[in-house]
Amino acid sequence: MDVIEDLTLSALLPLSESSMNEEGRLCNIAIQKALEDINAFPNLLVGYNLTSDYFDLKVI
DSSP per residue, 2-60: PPPEEEEEEEEE--SSHHHHHHHHHHHHHHHHHHHHHHT-TTTSTTEEEEEEEEETTT-
Round to whole Å and give the CA distance between 38 and 24.
Answer: 21
For residue range 18-52, list pLDDT tens digits in order: 656 888 889 999 999 999 999 999 899 999 999 99
pLDDT, position 20: 62
First to last CA, the chain: 40
- Tell me the mean pLDDT in the region 50-55: 93
31: containing domain: 5-56
Round to whole Å and give the CA distance between 4 and 23.
Answer: 32
Indicate the pTM of the whole model: 0.78
- Please tell me the total count of domains within the chain: 1
